[in-house]
Amino acid sequence: MSDSRFSSRREALRWLGVGAAGAALSGCGTAWRPPPAPPARPPAGDVPVAEAAPLPAPPAEAAPPAEAAPPAEAAPPAQSLVLPPRLQRGGTVGLVAPAGVIESATQVSEAIQDLRALGFQTRLGRNVLAKQGFLAGTDAQRAEDFMRMVEDPAVDAIVAIRGGWGAARILPLLDFDAIAANPKPIVGYSDITSLLVAIWARTGLVTFHGPVGISSWSDEVVESFFQTVVDGEPLALAPETRLIRDQTQTVRGGVAEGPFVGGNLSVLAALAGTGYLPNTDGAVVFFEEVSEEAYRVDRLLTQLEMAGFLRAPAAVVFGQCARCTDGDSTWSAERTIREHLRGYDCPTVFGAPIGHTSPVYTVPVGLPARVDADAGTVTFLGSAVA
C-alpha cells in the first residue's frame, strides 16, 4: 500500500525520522561530530616480523572464523583526526595479505620488486602465502600479520598485496588501541575498504584508498603515491585525467566540505549492522564499484540508505563503476546510480577518477575535502601526513 504524501522512499524515511537501523535522519550538510571510540579487543601479540625470504607452509587444519562483533548501528568516529607520519624515501613498507588468497609467489615477488624499485625497503608478513579456501590464510593468521606490522617500529607503512574478500573478517581481532598508538600509512583499496574505514572510525587515523602491491605501478600511480604519502602535498582530483577520458559529471551542483570517507560500495554495504560502518553525517561520502549489474548496485545503495549510512552526507562522490552492466535491465548501472544521487539535497557527482581503473590515485580517507560538483573537482584541505 502506498502513501501519497511521499514521492520517494527517502522522503518517507525522513518523515519517520529514522533509518532502518533506528538512526535519526537529517538533511544533507549537517556538521560532522566525532564521537568516542569503543574499547579495543585484546592485542594479537608482540611477535617479531619475518623478513621477506622464507615463507611457511599453511597449516593443515584451519582455525575457525573469528567471532563476530556485536551488531551496532555505526562505529562511532574517534575524538580527533590523526595524521600518520609521512613515509620517508628509503623507508620500510610492510606487505600483508589481509583478504583474498595470493595466487602465486610470483605476485609477491613482483610486488616486492616494484616497491624496491621505488627506493623502499620491504618486510613481508609471515602468512601471505597461506591458503584457507578463498582467503590468504585463517582469520587469526591474517590479523596477526597485520598487527605485527602495526606494532613493529621498523615498519613505516603498510600496503596490502591485494584485495578480494576477507578483510572484514579480521576486524574483531584487531587491537585498535595499538593501531592508534602506532600510527603509520595504511594503503589499499577494494576489499581493503573494511580496514580503511574501520580504522578511521575507531582511531581517527587517516588511511589511504590507494594501490595494492599487485597494482600496476605506472608513472601516474607512483606520482600520486609519493605526492600524498611521502611528500605530504594536498591532493586534488581533476574532472578528467590523462588516462580516464570519462569526465566527472555533475548530478546535483554546489560546493561542500567534510571528511572524505568511503570506498568500495559492496564492501561498505557488507559492514552495515556490524558496528564497523562509520558515521558519515556531514562527511563527503565516496564510492567505487566493479563488475556489478544495475539491480545489484541499486540493492547495495538502498541497503546503505536504509541503514542510515547516507542519512546526512555533506556531498556524495561516486567514482568509477568499472565494467558495471545493465544486467538485461532497461536501466544502465550509471542511470541507477544517478537516480540515487538525484535524491540527495547536497552536491553529488558521478564518474570521479576513483576505483578499479588506471591510474589508482592515493586518496586520503578521513581527511577533510572540498567538493565542487559544478566543476567536478575534489580538493583535499591540507596534508594527509604529519
Q: Which residues contact 121 (CB under 8 A, 6 or more apart)?
A: 90, 91, 92, 93
Sheet holding 186-188, edge to edge: 121-124, 92-96, 157-160, 186-188, 207-209, 363-365
Whole-angstrom distance, CA of residue 103 vs CA of residue 290: 20
For every residue of 41-88, DSSP letters joined together read PPP----PPP-SS--PPPPSSPPPPPPPPPP-S-BPPPSS-BPPPPPP
Tell me the one-letter amino acid at 203.
Answer: T
Q: How far is CA 188 from CA 52, 99, 132, in A?
A: 20, 11, 21
Active-site hit among 73, 144, 151, 190: 190
CA dihedral of 197, 198, 201, 203, whole degrees rounded to 10: -120
By CB neighbour count within 10 A (0-12 exposed, 13-18 middle, 19+ buried), where does 190 fall? buried
Whole-angstrom distance, CA of residue 326 vs CA of residue 312: 29
Going by their DSSP bridges, the two strands 255-264 and 284-290 should be labelled as parallel
- Sign of torsion over alpha carbons 189, 196, 363, 84: negative
* Catalytic annotation present for 288: yes
* Catalytic annotation present for 356: yes
Q: Is cis: bond before 359, omega within 30 of 0?
A: yes
Going by their DSSP bridges, the two strands 315-322 and 284-290 should be labelled as parallel
- Sign of torsion over alpha carbons 269, 271, 272, 278: negative
Residue 274 corresponds to which cell in the numbers above? 556490524
Active-site hit among 73, 144, 288, 334: 288
Closest CA to 350 of 201, 236, 231, 247: 247
Active-site hit among 257, 289, 340, 356: 356
By CB neighbour count within 10 A (0-12 exposed, 13-18 middle, 19+ buried), where does 342 fall? exposed
Whole-angstrom distance, CA of residue 254 vs CA of residue 346: 7
Which positions are catalytic? 190, 288, 356
